[in-house]
Amino acid sequence: MTITSIAIVGAGVAGLHLGLYLQQHEVPVRIYTDRTPEEVARGRLLNTVAHHHHTLERERALGVHHWDAEEYGYVCHQHCVTGAPVTLRFRGDFEHPSSIIDYRLYLPQLMKDYLDRGGDMTFGVIDREAIERMGREHDLVVVASGRDARSMFAPVPDKSPHDRPQRRLCAGIYHGVRYSEPKGVGVHISLGHGELLELPITSREGFATALLFEAIPGGEVEVLADARYDEDHDRFDRLVLHTLEQHFPMCFERVDVASFSVQGPGDLLQGALTPVVREDYVQLQSGRFAVAAGDAHCVVDPVNGQGANSASYSAWVIGQAIAEDLALDELFCRRVARERQAFVTGVSDWTNMILNPEPHVVGLIMAMAENKPLCDAYTQNFNHPDRQWAAVATPERTAAFIARHTTNRASIVA
């Protein structure tokens, strides 16, 4: 690439990983964001997303892996399914640890890294007009923001099956939940009511637990999506405890009821989102292109904890293409689209399937309960969402996935 200049809209994980990558490769870059590091740090809980091994490897390559996954990470998924005649409990192990850092620590730290290394960052409101202006001042605009700007990229109908949220969400950071042994993410399913992700998070107060309730509309967990913490802290905490006891016993048994509470008023996030995959790029008035990344490209429900990983992967594909390719034209945009397609749509298709699982996927979860190598393979595929989608897309594929990871006991006996 001859001397060129990249505009990045958004200072989330996609924008920062890309900014740091370009900085490392000496490509001129400017990040535009509407919030300063201080505002992010003192703001409301942003999410509770995990970074899986492949994302941590990119952090290491960028020199921004500040929380050693050996110390801060976790190594498995602890599964519990209730609401069936028999409660199922089982575990799947990762080959390498994953990690969850509160983004109010993570993002300001990476913004600081970027700025300390001489990075340009402009703070202010970003609307469509601002992006058109960037298209005149830069050679490429990467829109890596989930805010209004993303509407410039049209949804892709056949990858966006839903017109409304599939879950109502209540995420919060809590004291009083003992970690599982080995330390893992608790993946709790209460059939008909929703899921709970129990997440060993590093927050500004140190090790804590994030509870992300994924409430099916009309189910008994939905009460948490409407509960008002501000009105009555104790009542809110009791409601959460009651829900844990009723629906998520594997978590509840590690709760110290006396000390259980939301960490603080800003440590709660309630809402809902509609999954969508948008077009990869558009041409701006200047003739330059804007490429979508992160939430501007693909929004997934957090039930699989894949959003940040997909965003970081996408940023890396864009960064490598910028560093290697000869122009930032439509051929460049199509290259980016092609190279990230399997991964990003793998995340989206798999997550949409888990939200409304077909019978063969329910069967897969049942089979995982009885087959640890199978559950390990499914767990490890959190690093390979393209392979995970390939394993759940059809009943035939899931049967083959189960067969591949099943020891042939009959033949051993014989």
Question: Binding residues for its own copies, per CB under 8 A?
Answer: 1-2, 325-327, 329, 331, 335, 338, 341-342, 390-391, 393-394, 396-397, 400-401, 403-404
Tokens of 279: 């077009």
E runs forming strands in 12-150: 29-33, 74-82, 88-98, 120-123, 140-143
Instruction: Compare residues 163 and 411 and give the one whose CB is closer to its own copies.
Output: 411
- End-to-end CA, the chain: 63
- The separation between CA 233 and the C-alpha centre of its own chain, rounded to angstroms, equals 28
Q: How far is it, in rounded angstroms, from Cα 10 to Cα 3?
A: 23
Three-state DSSP class for residue 48: coil
CA distances from residue 231 to 45, 169, 390 in whole angstroms, order as listed? 18, 19, 46
**Sheet containing strand 29-33, strands side by side:** 120-123, 29-33, 6-9, 140-143, 289-292, 281-283
CB of 28 to its own copies, least distance (A): 16
Question: In sequence order, which residues have a C-beta less than 8 Å from that of residue 127 and are 6 or more positions away?
Answer: 148, 149
* CA R_g for the chain: 21
CB of 398 to its own copies, least distance (A): 8
CB of 378 to its own copies, least distance (A): 13
CB of 56 to its own copies, least distance (A): 25
Instruction: Compare residues 84 and 331 and give the one whose CB is closer to its own copies.
Output: 331
Instruction: Compare residues 274 and 394 and give the one whose CB is closer to its own copies.
Output: 394
Instruction: Compare residues 106 and 343 and give the one whose CB is closer to its own copies.
Output: 343
Instruction: Compare residues 132 and 339 and give the one whose CB is closer to its own copies.
Output: 339
Q: How far is it, in rounded angstroms, from Cα 171 to Cα 307?
A: 15
CB of 389 to its own copies, least distance (A): 8
Instruction: Compare residues 174 and 378 and give the one whose CB is closer to its own copies.
Output: 378
CB of 79 to its own copies, least distance (A): 22
CB of 64 to its own copies, least distance (A): 29
Q: Is 226 left (phi over 0), alpha (psi -120 to 50) or beta?
A: alpha
Instruction: Compare residues 262 and 390 and give the one whose CB is closer to its own copies.
Output: 390
